[in-house]
Each structure stands twice: as C-alpha cells, then as structure tokens.
Amino acid sequence: MTETDLAEGFRYLPGYLGPEAQAALVAELRALLAEAPLYRPTMPKSGRPFSVRMTNAGSHGWLSDRQGYRYAPRHPQTGRPWPAIPAVMERIWAEVADYPAGPECCLINFYAPEARMGLHRDQDEETFEAPVVSLSLGDSAVFRLGGPTRHGPTRSLKLHSGDVMILSGPARLAYHGIDRVLGGSSRLLPDGGRINLTLRRVTRPAGE
Ligand code: MD6
Ligand code: FE
C-alpha cells in the first residue's frame, strides 16, 4: 500500500522514515527521556491511570490529570521546561504538514505490549487549521480510525515502525485510537514496545 485516502484529510505514509533514521531518532529519544522522563498520566475526574506512559518535547506539553486535559510549559514531575522537538520531527512537519507555522508540541507516547489508547479526538488546541502529524516507532499496532462522531463506523489499519500519519481538514477531528500493540513485531527498541510521536500546533499563529 502506498499513500491511501481512507477518508478525506487522512493521509497514511507507510515507511516514511527509513531504518537508519529511525535508529538515529531512537538514540536521540534516549537522551530526551533522560531529561524529560516518561510518566503515567491519569484520566480527568476518575484519576484512572493511562496504560501508556508519556512525555513531551516543545514549548507546549500535553498533560492529562484529575483537573483535565491541557497544555503546559513544564514537565509535571521535574518542573523543568520540555526539551526541544527533535530536528527530524521538525523536518517531517515541514515536509508534510502544508501549514505556514511550526509544531509546538511533540507528544511522546510509549506503549508496553499490553498498552492501548481509547478512542479520542485531538481537540485541545486553539486551532484546527493545522494538521496533526504522527510517527510510529518500534512494534506495530492496530490503529482504529473513525469519523466526526464517537459512535460512527470505524476502520482499522496496522501502523508499522517508520509510518507517518496525518489528520487534516475534514479528518482533523476524527475519532481514533490504538486497539492493541503487536508485541515482538519490531527489533528497533531493544526492550520492545512502541513509541508514537504526535506533532501539533497548539496556538493560533498571527494572521490565521
Ligand atoms: C498512536 N496516535 O498512534 C496514537 N492522534 O499511538 C494518535 O492519537 C494520533 O497518531 C492524532 C494524529 C495522529 C495520531
Ligand atoms: Fe490522537
């Protein structure tokens, strides 16, 4: 499969990042995670822990805790500013986003083999004119893509290491989630698991 439009505004670019660039990014992420450790967020209200662990890079880090979802300039546990977005992620955005301003958040999700992510929309940003761009690394996962309502029809596709996915235009606010991770499907991460990096513009640029 090459580029596929499962829905208008949805773009799937399999194998966008080659194996060497993936390995270089993993090495960079190791240093990034030493500066901004993965932590386990909790659901608003219930306080239930996520099964994924998270951290961020960029000026705006996405957080979830009992108070709700929001963006914050600092890591909730260390109090330090988030590290810079890796250059290769800035490059991917520049190549595929078709948007005049840069990303402000690089959310980093780590999935152990049993982790998943429920159906959700990325809707905590000031502007939905910018796309959301994601890169998958490590084990493959079953991604579910729905439409603008939570209970409409959905379809599934497998995301593999190096794949890029873009939600833009009519698909920008589509529901989506990760049903399961296929443990042992990649050797990129020595201890297994999956990383998804999601790039977002958070604030509305001047003139939009
Ligand atoms: C994941 N991805 O692949 C979860 N959101 O682990 C997302 O939630 C996501 O991949 C918006 C745009 C692209 C994504
Ligand atoms: Fe998402």
| pLDDT exceeds cutoff 80 at 5 | no
161 CB near ligand 1 (under 6 Å)? no
pLDDT-derived band at 7, boundaries 50, 70, 90: confident
Tell the residue nearest (CA) to atom 14 of ligand 1. 134
140 CB near ligand 1 (under 6 Å)? no
Which of 198, 200, 202 to probe ligand 1 with, by most ligand atoms within 8 A of CB? 198
Tens of pLDDT, residue by residue over 63-97, are: 999 999 999 999 999 999 999 999 999 999 999 99
Ordered by where they begin, the domains of the chain are 3-200 (2.60.120.590)
User: What percent of the chain has a predicted confidence (pLDDT) above 90?
Assistant: 95
User: pTM above the 0.85 mark?
Assistant: yes
Tens of pLDDT, residue by residue over 138-167, are: 999 999 999 999 999 999 999 999 999 999
197 CB near ligand 1 (under 6 Å)? no
Q: How far is the CA of 33 from the centre of ligand 1 (A)?
A: 19
pLDDT-derived band at 2, boundaries 50, 70, 90: very low
Task: Give the separation between CA 168 and CA 15, rounded to whole angstroms.
Answer: 20
